[in-house]
Structure 1
């Protein structure tokens, strides 16, 4: 089968591509590299005019004429290579706005992909109209919008997510859904809002290339190392403010037992090396299930604070705290869970081993690639 993957988040499409290659399929990945993360791409579309004086010029042009020169540049880069994007059996978009450009340009690209290839699928693995609307209407017990509801931040701060509720993005959503052959979700945070949609084929867990991620057995020698990676654009959305407050308290009380590593806005290749020495990784607070960074860390045997709600435990028949720690938006809860692991390091060893076994069992990239093929071929 010949497959085109459009867009990239957190290395998901790269891992899927690797699994599909093992199974003998031809795969091309086109993306912008997910900004500063610099993920690999067979065809890299370069974002321009996003820093320095060129960004100021871009903002001015948009305010005066409504022209986004970054979006226009990416669209032009795509169509200059349009012959490379034809005659695929399957095209999969990583999002309704897979290249992160203005909706009118996304429509042109998606129309071209629909007209020149056999089947078109959408992967729901990040903020989009369906998931944002569901969360904004408070249908989850808690969500990425808690900081907004609690007035910690303004709507301007949440524009990257809230934009999907704007008329032009709702129109893009409707446009894409009419073109699609089917939709797949990567975890429960996107599965739950899609339930009942006639084009929804269900949840396929994130593919993780376990061969690239070596398990490191837990060592109780020395201090327990806690890793906290920050993407400044998603600071409140991921609950980093909760983690920073808890880490400050933890360092004050257990300075002789704990070492904290904090990094911010670094490329993926550096990020994944930085946490190699850590025992505990703080991922995100407002989630029901694990995102991609959490899963890769779990594959390495890290004890990850992330989404692990009842719905997740029920789906995989797990006990609370068996493979990762459910990070709730509650400072006392977070501190107590971290303190328990610091005082009882044998628990770190058990969770570390369980985490690796869980990834091997439920997220192996080759097994997951087979599940994608089953859906695409329906």
Structure 2
């Protein structure tokens, strides 16, 4: 098969590409270089006029005329490569706004892809119209929308979510759904909002290339090491405020028994190496399942505080913990961390189970086979 993967913000599409290539398929990725993460892209698109004076000028032009120059320049870059984006057997969009454009230019790009390729699929692996709609209509559902409704996230900092509630993105959603062959969820967080959708093709877990991630059984010597990696743009969306408060209490409580490592906005390649010596990694508090960062840490054998709700446990038929379910409650986080610090044998046991779980449920070649089967049979 000839496959085009559109968009990349977590290494999901890179790992899927590697799995598909192992199966003999020809695969390319087009998308934005995602800021400091800097994932490999075959056809990179740069978001222009997006910082400093030019961003202020762009905002002013948009307020006066409604014209979005960043979207226009993204469309121009796409056009430059467009002859490379035809005659694919399968095209997969990473979400409903893969090119980060306004409605007019996003639709023009997508229309070209729909018209010039056999099958186009949509991946629900982040915010999109149906997911955001579901989370607002079901505020008890564990999601980042809860933080916004509690006033923990300002409206201006939540626009990448709120935009999916606007009329233009509703129109874009309808346009996409009228042209795709189906939609796939990457984990439990996106699975439940799609259960009643007629185009839903099911859950295919995130692919993890364990051949590129070294597993070392955890050893505990003088200190238990905790790692907290912060992406400042997503500070409240990941529940980092809860983690930081919990870590302050843990440091005061255990002193020299623990070492706490905190990073801010480091490149992806640096980030995954920063926690190599850590035993415990703090990921996020608003998930039902694990996102990509958590899965890669689990592949290294780390004990990860992340989404691991009962739905996740039931889905994978787990009888022992492979991750610590994190919630937005400082006392709860302190209690869970304290238990592990006082029972280091449990840290070592969970670390072994995490790697085994990733190898069983997230192997990149086996996951690529599931995509291949889904794309061909739809």
Structure 2 length-normalised TM: 0.98
Shift of 1:277: 1.4
Q: Does 1:265 align with 2:265?
A: yes
Shift of 1:139: 5.1
What's the secondary structure of 1:156's corresponding residue? helix
Alpha-carbon distance in 2 for matches of 1:372, 1:140: 31
- Relative distance call for 1:271 and 1:135 in structure 2 (3 A) is same
* Greater shift in the superposed pair: 79-88 or 362-371: 79-88
Equivalent position of 2:374 in the other structure: 375
Equivalent position of 1:335 in the other structure: 334
Equivalent position of 2:175 in the other structure: 175
- Relative distance call for 1:193 and 1:140 in structure 2 (3 A) is farther
Equivalent position of 1:325 in the other structure: 324
Per-residue CA deviations over 1:62-91 (Å, capped at 9, x if unaligned) read 122222222111110001111000010000
What's the secondary structure of 2:210's corresponding residue? coil
Shift of 1:153: 2.8
Matches within 5 A, 1:1-378: 1-138=1-138, 140-319=140-319, 322-378=321-377
Per-residue CA deviations over 1:252-282 (Å, capped at 9, x if unaligned) read 1111111111111222111111111111111
Alpha-carbon distance in 1 for matches of 2:266, 2:175: 35
Q: Which runs of 5+ in 1 are unaligned?
A: none
* Greater shift in the superposed pair: 54-63 or 107-116: 54-63
Alpha-carbon distance in 2 for matches of 1:36, 1:99: 17
Alpha-carbon distance in 1 for matches of 2:185, 2:167: 24
- Relative distance call for 1:316 and 1:257 in structure 2 (3 A) is same
Alpha-carbon distance in 2 for matches of 1:364, 1:352: 17
Alpha-carbon distance in 2 for matches of 1:119, 1:152: 41
Alpha-carbon distance in 1 for matches of 2:52, 2:156: 21
Per-residue CA deviations over 1:187-208 (Å, capped at 9, x if unaligned) read 0100000002111100000000
- Asked if 2 retains the 8 angstrom alpha-carbon contact of 1:94 and 1:123, the reply is yes
Structure 1 length-normalised TM: 0.98
Alpha-carbon distance in 1 for matches of 2:276, 2:31: 27
Alpha-carbon distance in 2 for matches of 1:140, 1:181: 31
Q: Superposition RMSD on alpha carbons, in Å?
A: 1.1
Q: Which runs of 5+ in 2 are unaligned?
A: none
Alpha-carbon distance in 1 for matches of 2:299, 2:84: 35
Alpha-carbon distance in 2 for matches of 1:13, 1:252: 41
What's the secondary structure of 2:155's corresponding residue? coil
Corresponding pairs, count? 377
Alpha-carbon distance in 2 for matches of 1:141, 1:199: 22
